[in-house]
Amino acid sequence: MINSSLFAYAETSHRTPSIKKQQALLHLLKQDCGSCHGMLLKGGLGPPLLMKNLEDKPIELIINTILYGRPGTAMPPWQGLLSTQDATWLAQQLKTGVIE
């Protein structure tokens, strides 16, 4: 799974979603991700998603986790609802601390 995610990341990392799509993705991040990771993404059922907590994580790992979830945990796969481009943009936002 990671290899296909890496390829998809390379293919889509240069594309930026439209402003409308970015707004929808930020809403999803705050509402849907926030329901498990805490409304301020400081942690809850899921781990914190703050920049300082993700700085040592490769972006490919974050993208892969968004798309395919984490088996054995509460993290669901979002592949059916988010494109690789969407997951890449969200991962980039998390890595740069956009929510903080």
At a CB cut-off of 8 Å and minimum separation 6, what does 23 contact? Answer: none
pLDDT tens figures, 22-65? 999 999 999 999 999 999 999 999 999 999 999 999 999 999 99
Predicted TM-score (pTM) of this structure = 0.83
CATH number of 2-96: 1.10.760.10
Q: Counting runs of H as helices and runs of E as strands, what totals does the chain give?
A: 6, 0
Name the residue ranges covered by the structural domains of the chain: 2-96
Q: What average pLDDT does range 8-14 have in this prediction?
A: 50
